[in-house]
């Protein structure tokens, strides 16, 4: 499949748009300059990078919270086991 690029002004996605922008020519459909198109693409990429960074940070926070909850649950299970007076066998433990 050939390489394509989408013009940020007219949303045309073709190989001719890519070729025009790579050669520094304007979009063949709407006339947006290659310089403007590449600048818009760069801004959109940075925004996407920031969104991915924010999602990664949230995923790390969520993982940390889940690990903390797991530790608390294990500690509670141990306390219950101690109160009941019989230890759980390893094969019975889901951990």
Decide: helix, strand or coil at residue 35: helix
Which residues, other chains included, contact 2 with Cβ-Cβ below 8 Å and sequence gap of 6+? 15
Average pLDDT over residues 22-39: 93
Q: Give the Cα separation of 53 and 44 in Å (integer).
A: 14
**Percent of the chain whose pLDDT exceeds 70:** 88
Q: Which residue has the higher pLDDT, 93 or 63?
A: 63
Q: Which residue has the higher pLDDT, 2 or 72?
A: 72
Average pLDDT over residues 1-23: 91
Annotated domain spans of the chain: 5-84
């Amino acid at each position: 499949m050939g390489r394509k690029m989408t013009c940020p002004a007219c949303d045309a996605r073709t190989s001719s748009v890519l070729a025009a922008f790579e050669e520094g020519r304007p979009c063949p459909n709407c006339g947006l300059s290659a310089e403007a198109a590449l600048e818009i693409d760069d801004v959109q990429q940075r925004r996407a990078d920031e969104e991915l960074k924010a999602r990664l940070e949230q995923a790390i926070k969520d993982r940390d919270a889940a690990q903390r909850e797991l530790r608390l649950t294990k500690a509670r299970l141990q306390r219950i086991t101690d109160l009941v007076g019989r230890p759980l066998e390893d094969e019975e433990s889901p951990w």
